[in-house]
């Protein structure tokens, strides 16, 4: 199993450009999520999905869109990039147990710089 795969690993954008961060998992996990990590701010939840066709907003959803057309893929779209979106982005997935949330498996991260 490859686990959680994110692409690209590095990206530089100009203000106003749009782009999509790709995330795929091969573990048949129902739950997928996107976080951004900024110094001193921890991991902040952007959007998450509990299954194909279902998405919900997290703590910092503004400026980002997601969709979940398949169990495997959960792309994150930046509609009009701003310097405040410069960050490291992590995709994560888990297979919820009967008691709720299970262990999150993270991708390697995508470092995005917006000039």
Partner 1 sequence: GENVEQHPSTLSVQEGDSAVIKCTYSDSASNYFPWYKQELGKRPQLIIDIRSNVGEKKDQRIAVTLNKTAKHFSLHITETQPEDSAVYFCAGNQAGTALIFGKGTTLSVSS
Catalog residues that contact partner 1 under the rule CB under 8 A: 31, 33, 35, 40-45, 48, 50, 56, 58-59, 90, 96, 99-101, 103-104, 106-109
Question: Which C-beta is closer to partner 1: that of 17 or that of 44?
Answer: 44
Assess contact for 32 and 23: CB atoms under 8 A: yes
Minimum CB separation from partner 1 for residue 37, in Å? Answer: 9
Question: Which C-beta is closer to partner 1: that of 35 or that of 74?
Answer: 35
Q: Is the dihedral angle over the CA atoms 104, 2, 63, 12 positive or is it negative? A: positive
Minimum CB separation from partner 1 for residue 91, in Å? Answer: 10
Minimum CB separation from partner 1 for residue 18, in Å? Answer: 25
Question: Which C-beta is closer to partner 1: that of 85 or that of 90?
Answer: 90
């Amino acid at each position: 199993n490859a686990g959680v795969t994110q692409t690209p690993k590095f990206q530089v954008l100009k203000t106003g450009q749009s782009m999509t961060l790709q995330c795929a998992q091969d573990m048949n996990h129902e739950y997928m999520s996107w976080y951004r990590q900024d110094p001193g701010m921890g991991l902040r939840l952007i959007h998450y999905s509990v299954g194909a066709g279902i998405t919900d907003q997290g703590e910092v959803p503004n400026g980002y869109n997601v969709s979940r057309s398949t169990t495997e893929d959960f792309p994150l779209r930046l509609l009009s990039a701003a310097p405040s979106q410069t960050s490291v982005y992590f995709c994560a997935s888990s297979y919820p147990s009967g008691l709720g949330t299970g262990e999150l498996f993270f991708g390697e991260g995508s470092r995005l710089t917006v000039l």
